Structure 1
Amino acid sequence: MRNGTLIVADLSAGYPRRPVIENLTLPAIAAGTVTALIGPNAAGKSTLLAALAGLVRAHGTVRLDGEDLMRLPLAARAALVGFMPQALPQGVALSVLESVVAAFEASPPEGLAGDPARRALAVLDRLGIADLALEMLDRLSGGQRQMVSLAQALVREPQLLLLDEPTSALDLRHQVTVMAAVRALASEGRSVIVVLHDLNLAARWADRVVVLDHGRVAAVGTPVEALTPEILAAVWGVAARVTPSPDGAPHVVVEGALRRPTPG
């Protein structure tokens, strides 16, 4: 796997007659790191992730290891970029193993040899869900479906991994399992960008936090730099305390909602 940096500059993205992100620039995202995208609802987090994956109309600069992703055909882009959506589609009549094999065969990367089924089983085993291989997707719990979706994103061994709320349907144990897997994937040289709503998960597991608000970057930095009472007040409209946890990561305690100014 190449160790490359992700460059995002002057990126605009959105939908017909509804721009969401305009001229957004991020600091360079190094390989081997986890970046958390956080922000209130409708901040542009999922749209930014979809734009990086090539799934919504966008223009600007997106380069990975010097490769201009914006100019690549979708299949070639998919070989470099793995995308995990918020939820798998319903009514898919496939087993877990078949769905992961199908994700691999949809755009098999060059240079990845071996039987796709064995590759899929290895990914399921790595995520601790090999026992689900023969289960049908429509019989899984929400948390199990999240784990299968992560396997589908990972099976092509992408250089850039984009995860949209991977912990949203998971209990505490599986949240830790997924985030530990995310850290391990980054340690292999991938760039990982993950949308999270839980600020303390972001603080605990991310190297860098990007706070989005109405399609703009409101703050960016280490968790200590980006998660401050002032930023929480300005972006989320809450009063909060931020204290260091035993491992040094900030811990956010929300104390209440702030009154919004009354238009005068």
Structure 2
Amino acid sequence: MQTTSGTERFNELFSELEDCDEDGQKLIIEEMNKIVYEMNEEEFKSVFTKELFNKMNKMIEDKKLSMGNVLLLLKRVGYCKVLKNMQIALRKEESEEARNEVEIAFLDLYSIGIGDLRQELYLNEIKEIIKYHQEHRNLSHLAYQFAWKFLINRSFYDENFEEVIVNDLHFARETAREIEELARNMDWMKEKEEERVNETKEEILLMEWLRKLEFFFRRCRMRNEEFAGLIESIVRVFRAAKDKHEVFSINAFMY
């Protein structure tokens, strides 16, 4: 397959890295990152091969490429991979395979460093995905939770996100709905913890919502009338779990 000028230029720049000092490498990688952002999926796969990563690893071992500059490049690769997978969600595909890919995309986005991630690379897309899900329920519980967790964590770096989270995307209303739906699918009737061999998926998701709520209440000041319904939902969950589920009872005490 004949490469495009963009991928050719990327490979040329990569070959120049080992002949530069660290500052020179940083400038080259900045140019490489601009090329990566413009790549389509086919070009992306043709460039980021096992062979490329092996070369990169050898350059690190030979001290010809600093780890800091490697991370500078790989962060952009991670962002672009996430953004390309998120277009699956924007196309509103509802197959099991599409759901899994969206979960992976949001997990990657939540896991990689977000402090220097530019807002325009993701915010509008995530808002559209969340709003579409609110109307059509096309995402899994896990994908939806990761989308919210990312936005809440991002509010740590930008207080303007609070307005988007609370009033535009209706965080309290949606969290209350998720908590109550997960709670309805849990078996509160097992009185002995020894009977429960493993936590269910619903239990794990519900606990993650409660942990993230604790962070939200400590970090964010903005509230609206929907928060009264959220508090009522939390209280109902803890009442249902009282004396039946030790973990949730402990968390009720912590609140």
Bin of the TM-score, shorter chain as denominator length: under 0.3
Query: TM-score under structure 1 normalisation?
Result: 0.27
Pick the structure with more strand per residue. Answer: 1
Higher relative contact order (CA 8 A, sep 6+): 1
Query: TM-score under structure 2 normalisation?
Result: 0.28
